[in-house]
A and B are shown apart, each in its own frame.
Chain A
Amino acid sequence: DAGVIQSPRHEVTEMGQEVTLRCKPISGHDYLFWYRQTMMRGLELLIYFNNNVPIDDSGMPEDRFSAKMPNASFSTLKIQPSEPRDSAVYFCASSWDRVRTPLHFGNGTRLTVT
């Protein structure tokens, strides 16, 4: 299996622009998670899906952030408009179960907003 695939690996954009991050989970995994990693706050869970349905988005920082999962093999995380404080590494992860099986992480998207 190719693992969780994220694109792009790096994104540099200017403040105010829209940013879309993409994720392809491992085939057959029912759960998909979006995390954000920063030096200051560590690893934060933003949102997770079960069978393409958003279950908990309490970690999404603001209305500027939105996530979708139109089908079992694709998810997007969108930031509109982006701000410099959104600069972070964004990880997508997938798993068979919410906690009883391990999460498989992608290699992340490093976002820099100038």
Chain B
Amino acid sequence: GEDVEQSLFLSVREGDSSVINCTYTDSSSTYLYWYKQEPGAGLQLLTYIFSNMDMKQDQRLTVLLNKKDKHLSLRIADTQTGDSAIYFCAVPSSNTGKLIFGQGTTLQVKP
């Protein structure tokens, strides 16, 4: 079946760049998403990329998509303590049409 994998934990220093990676086994030709979850809250849409794009930049966020390797990444420039959260990638399955979420990457930002 389809699978979406993320590393579970990333720790960076304030001001550094963070790169969160996601690999998937299957995707339909539509949008791939990054969500952010802060403690005690639901998932918030952070950014997204259409499957025919390689890169999307949105202020401090850069999304890279390598369709050949089925690899999605999220880069946060100048990481701040307020960026500390869990980050989920979500990929639509071409088989079921459902959105498949990764396990989430906990980003810890040290001052």
| Cβ contact within 8 Å between A99 and B43 | no
CA A99 to CA B90, docked complex, whole Å: 10
- Given A98-B97, A99-B31, A105-B42, A43-B92 contact (CB < 8 Å): no
- Which A46-100 residues have a C-beta within 8 angstroms of B? 48, 56, 91, 93, 98-100
| Cβ contact within 8 Å between B48 and A99 | no
Query: What residues of A have a CB within 8 angstroms of the CB of B53 in the complex?
Result: none
* Nearest chain B residue, comparing its CB with the CB of A6: B42
CA A108 to CA B41, docked complex, whole Å: 7
- In the complex, A103 has a CB within 8 A of chain B: yes
| Cβ contact within 8 Å between A99 and B101 | no
- In the complex, B30 has a CB within 8 A of chain A: yes
Q: How many chain A residues touch B (Cβ–Cβ < 8 Å)?
A: 19
User: Which residue of B30, B45, B90, B102 is within 8 Å of A100 (Cβ)?
Assistant: B30
B96 to A: closest C-beta gap in Å: 8
- In the complex, B110 has a CB within 8 A of chain A: no
- In the complex, B103 has a CB within 8 A of chain A: yes
- Given A45-B98, A107-B40, A102-B104 contact (CB < 8 Å): no
Query: What residues of A have a CB within 8 angstroms of the CB of B98 in the complex?
Result: 45, 48, 56, 98-99
- In the complex, B88 has a CB within 8 A of chain A: yes
| Cβ contact within 8 Å between A106 and B48 | no
- In the complex, B44 has a CB within 8 A of chain A: yes
CA A43 to CA B30, docked complex, whole Å: 21
| Cβ contact within 8 Å between B45 and A104 | yes
A82 to B: closest C-beta gap in Å: 22
Residues of B within 8 A of A (CB): 28, 30-31, 33, 35, 40-45, 48, 88, 90, 92, 96-99, 101-104
The 10 closest A-B pairs by CB, nearest first: A105-B42, A99-B92, A102-B45, A43-B101, A105-B43, A42-B103, A107-B42, A100-B30, A106-B42, A108-B42
